[in-house]
Structure 1
């Protein structure tokens, strides 16, 4: 139950946040990797079974974990739990956004369509918005509104990238006709925070560094969303992160 095991989980499942975390000083990596591994564990839970009750039980496990961390109880035997608890206590990470991230995944279990853009925005804010807020808070940034704006932008980009996989799993979650409007909102939000300095929390903010490019491709070529052509090459991905890291940008 080590931070290294959390890093290995992130390496396998979330390359953007892996590189973002690696751009942080070592003490901050020891906080970011457990948070990002926690996110992956709850994100996987609804997709590991076709039984909604079992999926809900997996999410309940993580609700109980957060309650036990809050109460200072002995960590459960899971590779993420002890490092997560240590990070939460060391940096006073708020638990409310972590609980919101778990609750958001109930939509992944139900796999019902979102009716309007506001419903999808709520889902993204509870998931990606909460993770961004928790991760920048862990690095000392206290502006929740700004963090959530950036998290929602990143979350919409990730949602669009994931559409082919979600459709393959039979989840037609949203009317694609609403995407142009949502993309315009997200790009405007990104411009609103682009010049902001996240200070020591810049590595956490850097997890959203590809969002703008993804959203611009989706705006220019809507068919790329369903056809799975939004992602850039691994070489371009790593080059973008390196360029921003060397310049201290997110």
Structure 2
């Protein structure tokens, strides 16, 4: 079956909803790029479920649809689902990794706080980390990328969560680990919030430093899969400038700077 239209839809979706991953995908091998984009589009669909449902149960029903698609209990009857199934079958991707990503996203549907840094790391590894690992698998099935994927996933996901704090608080949800501000109210106790966020930025930079030591990110066919993580250090300094309000400031970086950072990172791969 020809899935060209499905992959085209995935690319348009990704370009609109997740421009950073879309920009990074431009540096992937042309023959494999659409399949990595299909993974990213699937992740975007899962990440946006909460915003499209009125109660958690409806979100769980949507998640079950994706589980059924991945297990073959129902066909891929939508463009992203069709492209995802085609990619999974073509590259023999581990379906359990994608299902684990869905399971981790159950946290998104409810308002319970993230309990600890360890829980946040597990969430990030199961979501963004799984995407890095699966993208790398498409580029090179033989590459050992488990450790690199975990570091990249934590760094990338936590950076994104820090950027999204204004929307999270407005929606009644936060991914800032409760143990970092125990006894305080994030909305009213600004010193406690600033201290917690500073610790999370340290966590991001620790994982970026560890990622930089991983051979799989420096050379080989799988290395371009980790390019999105190169954007983290563009955003973190914006959160450390005078006048930054974590509950109101939207952290943005011009597209030309993001493209330049990705180009420089891609040039270093041998």
TM-score, length-scaled by structure 2: 0.82
Gaps of 5+ in 1: none
1:164–1:225 contact (8 Å) kept in structure 2: yes
Cα offset, 1:111, TM superposition: 2.0
Deviates more, 1:224-233 or 1:45-54: 224-233
The corresponding residue for 1:57 is 61
3-state SS of 2:263 partner: helix
The corresponding residue for 2:236 is 215
Cα offset, 1:96, TM superposition: 2.4
Change (3 A) 1:198 1:216: farther
Q: Please identify the structure whose Cα radius of gyration is greater.
A: 2
Change (3 A) 1:172 1:155: closer
The corresponding residue for 2:161 is 159
TM-score, length-scaled by structure 1: 0.88
2:49–2:62 contact (8 Å) kept in structure 1: yes
Gaps of 5+ in 2: 182-192
Match of 2:42 among 34, 38, 45: 38
Change (3 A) 1:235 1:45: same
Rounded Cα–Cα distance in structure 2 between residues aligned with 1:97 and 1:224: 36
Change (3 A) 1:226 1:10: same
Deviates more, 1:58-67 or 1:167-176: 167-176
Q: How many residues align?
A: 245
Q: Deviations over 1:174-232 (max 9, x none)?
A: 34343322321321221122253252123321111111232344356694433324321
Deviates more, 1:4-13 or 1:178-187: 178-187
Change (3 A) 1:117 1:219: farther
